[in-house]
Amino acid sequence: MAVIEETLQANQAYASAFTKSHLPMPPGRKLAVVVCMDARIDPARALGLEEGDAHVIRNAGGRISEALRSLTISQLLLGTEEVAVIHHTDCGMLTFTDDSLRKDVRQKLHADADHIAFLPFSDVEQSVKDDLVQYRQSTIVRQDIPVRGFVYDVKTGRLTEVN
């Protein structure tokens, strides 16, 4: 069976016991989390979150530049009042450069990706610092709320704050 078919079966079981239809659209804990899409990270479990608690915005590397649109909506329309930016150890974003990935796109997909910044990095802690700076320089997100950065250790499950 294809994996998508397995997930559809799992969804049927989930939906048959679903009891959360009463949750409001705004997140109850007024938190937005920007985190990497890495499959080894379960943000809800790692952060003690339940459905309805927070907006979890995931992308490759947990990069702020790709999350700004969602954060604007989260803050201005849905009331989030804190932001956590979470990158992690052993991240795939450490394994390539823009040039190497653009070359792969040309060779494997016969397409031009020269206009795309894939946003790799060579230092996880520095990438968090860079994203916090980018957040603070953005004019489309709230600057009057707490915004904190962390590195999640995929071997221990622990968060370490980056200052």
Q: What is the pTM assigned to this prediction?
A: 0.93
Domain ranges of the chain: 24-162
pLDDT tens-digit profile, the chain (163 residues): 799 999 999 999 999 999 999 999 999 999 999 999 999 999 999 999 999 999 999 999 999 999 999 999 999 999 999 999 999 999 999 999 999 999 999 999 999 999 999 999 999 999 999 999 999 999 999 999 999 999 999 999 999 999 9
The domain 24-162 is classified under which CATH number: 3.30.43.10, 3.40.1050.10, 3.90.105.10, 3.40.50.261?
Answer: 3.40.1050.10
First CA to last CA distance, the chain: 46
Q: Which of 85, 84, 66 lies closest to 128, judged by CA?
A: 85
Cβ neighbours of 162 (radius 10 Å)? 19
Helices 64-76 and 124-137: crossing angle in degrees, nearest 10, is: 50
Cα 36–chain centre separation: 4
5: alpha, beta or left? (left if phi > 0; alpha if psi -120 to 50): alpha
Cα 15–chain centre separation: 25
Residue 39 to residue 3: CA distance in whole angstroms: 15
For residue 120, what pLDDT is reported? 95
- Give me the amino acid identity at 147: V
Tokens of 91: 């991240």
Residue 41 to residue 50: CA distance in whole angstroms: 15
For residue 84, what pLDDT is reported? 98
Task: Give 122's DSSP letter.
Answer: S
